């Protein structure tokens, strides 16, 4: 059976670019995003590569939706890659952390931290059976302490630690877990972070494809527990 991948936030931006890359490599895909119209359009394009594509619209912060994703992955019969890409910026325009609405901060943690961990829990047997890889999409905001980026950065710093912890816990079961900072990209989320500004100088998500091509072919034991920067001259980050 062909390799398969579950990609959250798969209708646009980085998730859509990675989905297209994997479809071209013969992967079967399970993609999800909140916007049903964009997701269905992405699925139609991805099916042109000839492989199976299942599209399920919903919010990864919703336990019932995560359950449906896990059921769909089991129906596919295997899972080689879990690409936890779906994220929320939280409040926009980005507020200072000292004045950040706590209810919004809690919701950001549900989407950006709890949901990726919960999805790992849901599909763990499938990942173990295939010797799978979990990719958690991080950000330089996890390390930078940038004014205004505190809420989002907190969630990505927590996701980095969750990635390392899961890698240490699951390595003996043949599962790899990595955190990847894709760098600044010309995406809708990045535009939302800079309302009214011209972000045309940022590269499109496809600039990261050489990194993904390399990562997905590495032995799980060689990469697990690492944190990478997909646009850097040297991909691995020493922190």
Is residue 234 in some structural domain? no
Distance CA 216, CA 70 (A): 22
Mean pLDDT of 162-188: 91
Q: Is the pLDDT of residue 1 over 70?
A: no
Residue 210 lies in domain:
4-229
pLDDT per residue over 90-119, tens digit each? 999 999 999 999 999 999 999 999 999 999
Distance CA 233, CA 8 (A): 27
Is residue 53 in some structural domain? yes
Are 86 and 77 within 8 A, CB to CB? Answer: no
pLDDT per residue over 11-45, tens digit each? 999 999 999 999 999 999 999 999 999 999 999 99
Number of domains within the chain: 1
Are 111 and 91 within 8 A, CB to CB? Answer: no
The residue to which tokens 């919010």 are assigned = 59
Distance CA 78, CA 99 (A): 45
Per the prediction, the chain carries an average pLDDT of 93
Active site residues: 152
SS3 54: strand
pLDDT of residue 142: 96
Are 162 and 142 within 8 A, CB to CB? Answer: no
Q: Is the pLDDT of residue 239 over 90?
A: no
Q: At what angle do helices 63-76 and 115-130 cross, to 10 degrees?
A: 10
Is residue 239 in some structural domain? no
- Of all residues in the chain, the percent with pLDDT exceeding 90 is 85
Is residue 218 in some structural domain? yes
pLDDT of residue 185: 67
Is residue 36 in some structural domain? yes
Q: Which CATH number belongs to the domain containing residue 122 in this structure?
A: 3.40.50.720
SS3 167: helix
Q: Is the pLDDT of residue 58 over 70?
A: yes
pLDDT of residue 230: 93
Band of the pLDDT at 228, cuts 50, 70, 90? very high
pLDDT of residue 105: 97
pLDDT of residue 60: 98
The tokens describing 73, both together, are: 């992955």
Band of the pLDDT at 162, cuts 50, 70, 90? very high
Instruction: Please provide the DSSP assignment of 26-50 as one string.
Output: T-EEEEEES-HHHHHHHHHHHGGGS
CA nearest to 162, candidates 118, 127, 97, 211:
118
Q: Is the pLDDT of residue 196 over 80?
A: no
What DSSP state is assigned to residue 232?
S
pLDDT of residue 187: 63
Gyration radius from the chain CA atoms: 17
What is the greatest pairwise CA distance in the chain? 51
- CA distances 129 to 23, 79, 134, 188, Å, are 21, 8, 13, 35
pLDDT of residue 152: 96
pLDDT of residue 143: 95
Is residue 235 in some structural domain? no
pTM (two decimals): 0.94
Q: Is the pLDDT of residue 237 over 80?
A: no
- Of all residues in the chain, the percent with pLDDT exceeding 70 is 94
Band of the pLDDT at 175, cuts 50, 70, 90? very high
Report H helices in 1-136: 13-24, 36-46, 63-76, 102-109, 115-130
Is residue 238 in some structural domain? no
């Amino acid at each position: 059976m062909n390799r398969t991948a579950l990609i959250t936030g798969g209708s646009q931006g980085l998730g859509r670019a990675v989905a297209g890359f994997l479809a071209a490599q013969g992967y079967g895909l399970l993609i999800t995003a909140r916007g049903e119209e964009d997701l269905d359009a992405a699925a139609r394009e991805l099916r042109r590569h000839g492989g199976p594509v299942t599209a399920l619209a919903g919010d990864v912060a919703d336990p019932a939706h995560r359950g449906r994703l896990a059921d769909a992955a089991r129906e596919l019969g295997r899972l080689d890659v879990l690409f936890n890409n779906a994220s929320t910026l939280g409040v926009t325009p980005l507020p200072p952390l000292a004045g950040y609405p706590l209810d919004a901060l809690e919701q950001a943690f549900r989407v950006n931290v709890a949901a990726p961990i919960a999805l790992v829990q849901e599909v763990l047997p499938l990942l173990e059976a295939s010797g799978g890889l979990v990719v958690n999409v991080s950000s330089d905001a996890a390390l930078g302490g940038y004014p205004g980026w505190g809420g989002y950065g907190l969630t990505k710093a927590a996701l980095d630690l969750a990635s390392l912890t899961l890698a240490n816990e699951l390595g003996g079961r043949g599962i790899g877990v990595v955190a990847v900072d894709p760098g600044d990209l010309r995406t809708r989320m990045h535009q939302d972070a800079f309302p009214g500004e011209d972000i045309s100088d940022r590269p499109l998500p496809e600039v990261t494809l050489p990194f993904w091509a390399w990562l997905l072919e590495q032995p799980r034991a060689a990469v697990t527990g690492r944190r990478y920067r997909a646009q850097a001259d040297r991909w691995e980050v020493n922190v």
